[in-house]
Amino acid sequence: MGDPIEIVDHDPAWQTEFAAIGTALRGALGDVALRVDHIGSTSVPGLAAKPVIDIQISVRSLEPLAVYKAPLERLGLVHRANNPELTKRYFREAPGSRRTHIHVRELGSFSQQLPLLFRDYLRAHPAAAAEFAQAKRRCANQVRDDRQQYVSAKEPFVWDIVRRADTWAQNIGWQPGPSDA
């Protein structure tokens, strides 16, 4: 059993924390990082979240791994080679550091575009963000000590938002804006 799942009110400091981490990532990776973006619930103003900063680094290709792994490890990030998602490479914070998840994905891939669309939709639709926050709190209360169950419990809400976000994207011709860092 890990730490209990805690959903907290949005903290405006999350943006500042992302900015500092994003600047360090940009400095370490240079042109290897085509984009560095704040994603996940902490990237949406007003959205309650687990206090974990999620960052997506977009690269030309996931291979060779060494091109971005070595610079990220020099920053103290830990590569999680056993990550089961084959469309990304995953890194975590150094032990004892602020909880941070780094998702490295290939620029233009579905897995790279989806978190940006999800984030942008919720930023543009505060009522949907509030619905999502309520669903996350409900799921966390039901399965507080089981992260996998929490992810499974909120999945229907996530896919409902994805469907709405896709309709919105088609209606406005959504494209990702500039990189966050």
* pTM exceeds 0.85: yes
Helices (H) and strands (E) in the chain, counts: 5, 5
Tell me the pLDDT tens digit for each residue of 75-128. Answer: 999 999 999 999 999 999 999 999 999 999 999 999 999 999 999 999 999 999
Query: What CA–CA distance (Å, rounded) separates 2 from 144?
Result: 10
pLDDT of residue 9: 97
Alpha carbon 32 to its chain centroid, in Å, reads: 19
> Residue 46 has what pLDDT?
96
CA dihedral over 134, 136, 141, 143, signed as positive or negative: positive
Write down the pLDDT at residue 2: 65
Name residues of the chain where pLDDT drops below 50: 1
Whole-number pLDDT of residue 54:
98
